[in-house]
Amino acid sequence: MSWWHYFIVIIYGLCLSFVFFYSVSQFLLFLKAYSLTKPTNPAKKLSHFPKVCIQLPIYNEGEIVERLLKNIAQINYPTEALEIQVLDDSTDDSLEKNQALVKQLQQDGIPIQHFHRKNRTAFKAGALKEGLQQTKAEFIAVFDADFLPKANWLQQTLGYFEDAEVGVVQTRWGHLNKNYSLITQVQALALDFHFCIEQVGRNRGNHLINFNGTAGIWRKSCILDAGNWRGDTLTEDLDLSYRAQLKHWKIHYLNHVITPAELPIEMNAARSQQFRWNKGAAENFRLNYAKVRKAAHLPISTKIHAFFHLLNSSLFFVILTLAVLSFPVLFIKHEFPSSISFFYGFTVLGLSTFLYMMGYAYTYFKENKFSLKSALQFVFKFFSFFALAMGLSVSNSKAILEGHLGKKSSFIRTPKFNVLGKQKAKVKKGVPQRFKLINLIELGLLFYFILALVYAFQVQDFALFPFHLMLVFGFGFVTWSTLQSRFFRLNQ
């Protein structure tokens, strides 16, 4: 073999090693979550009603604001101890509608105020920070526009602040439209894994966890002590979470308190949300991991978990690298039989898929009764999730590289369509748009991996065939969905 053959094999092996060790860290979180045999201690009954401010950051959310405000108006809490802030950065015609809705609720006796900034400095983080300056409340709850907390949500969460070290209480996200389409089903599967395994496992293991940007409540003094909201990253929630925990505050996660929300229903919406989350995670690694590594009060195990936590989005770049190299690796394996010993080691690292699968299976069957039908459904959804993740790996890799390199970009709102259950969104014909470069790269990779499947038949080596098949499905699905959303757009 020549030097470039060895180079490809070494890079391929390093990428597989990263995936394997990341999978081991996830499996350890699964073991922590699985060992949680006792339910979470219930919140202590409130002896008094502290002042609470509910912040509702919105931006051009005209389709769902009325649903949000009607739901928040039903929160069961003494009005004299409650304050609701509509932090409205809207720039479209929804602004006047929102103002009218707030005035109507004020007339109904709801303690609600409308705030509008003409300059969206620091985006959501800036809106939350400005709202914080306008309240004297002791506790600050945050809900994005698509979240619908239950009426007793404050009673379910406030009692945990009896522990003076608790700075944040985070609840689990639910899904209003999980079964709308395959796109929403795989998103729900991934989010359920995050909340039921990662969040529970980190909380149980006393590792650093994160506020998820919404459906949680902060102690105001914790926000201020940690340095307040900042617009340094696209995931200001993760940033403030780490800064708070480095100041010795605790985040308490409640898996049994579910706050439902609407999942993105079309590919471009899901793509933009994933781009923001993945870029923000990379930005947070660059900004915060050195502080974690130097923190004397954190054990080594917590620092290791934080390393993989903050680098979780970078897995997309590693997987894309693996995918692109897998075709030449198949060629090298066939053309140089003496190199086959390298690949025996790689098969052991391939066990990472099964480590992942155990955690996802545990999450799925906690929600769905085990049967042959549900088992087959899980296998389909699990591999669809992996395929879709691979299909979005180009877009996500771009986000990750920008985050690590410090390139700034705007906060892109994820479109919502007020879709509940299997109710179909209204569709109308849109203006045809040209493909972007990233779409052309995805299309090119679709044909690249089709060629890899053909080559497997030529050399009769099917070791990587399932991997390449998922890549074809993933890039094919993403390309087709992108085409649909470019020629037809959903009414908002």
Look at residue 38 in the predicted model and tell me its pLDDT. 53
Residue from 88, 89, 144, 192 carrying the catalytic annotation: 89
Tell me the backbone φ, ψ of residue 419, rounded to 5 degrees: -110, 125
Q: Quick check: helix, strand or coil at residue 395?
A: helix
Domain ranges of the chain: 1-50+149-425, 57-118+130-135
pLDDT in tens, 127-185: 999 999 999 999 999 999 999 999 999 999 999 999 999 999 999 999 999 999 999 99
Tell me the sheet residues that pair with 429: 488
Enter the tokens of residue 446. 């679709």
Question: Residue 204: CA atoms inside 13 Å, Cβ hemisphere, count?
Answer: 21
Catalytic residue chosen out of the listed positions 88, 144, 237, 239: 237
Q: Each residue of 382-407: pLDDT tens digit?
A: 999 999 999 999 999 999 999 999 99
Q: Please state, in angstroms and as integers, the Cα–Cα distance from residue 11 to each residue in 308, 393, 395, 420, 458, following that order.
A: 19, 18, 21, 45, 25
Whole-prediction pTM value?
0.92
The predicted structure's pLDDT at residue 419:
74
Q: Please tell me the predicted confidence (pLDDT) of residue 429.
A: 44
Residue 163 appears among annotated catalytic residues: no
How many whole angstroms separate alpha carbon 157 and alpha carbon 168?
A: 10
What is the DSSP-derived secondary structure letter of residue 489? E
Which parts of the chain sit beneath pLDDT 70? 36-43, 339, 341-350, 421-435, 485-492
Output DSSP code: residue 194.
Answer: I
3-state secondary structure 438-482: HHHHHHHHHHHHHHHHHHHHHHCCCCCHHHHHHHHHHHHHHHHHH
Measured distance CA(336)–CA(331) in Å, rounded: 8
Q: Residue 229 and residue 234: Cα distance in Å, rounded?
A: 12
pLDDT given for residue 428 in this prediction: 46
Helix axes 372-391, 465-487, angle to 10 degrees: 70
| Beta strands 112-116; 82-88: pairing state | parallel
Active site residue 92: no
Contact 82, 162 (CB under 8 A): no
User: Which residue shows structure tokens 């038949």?
Assistant: 457
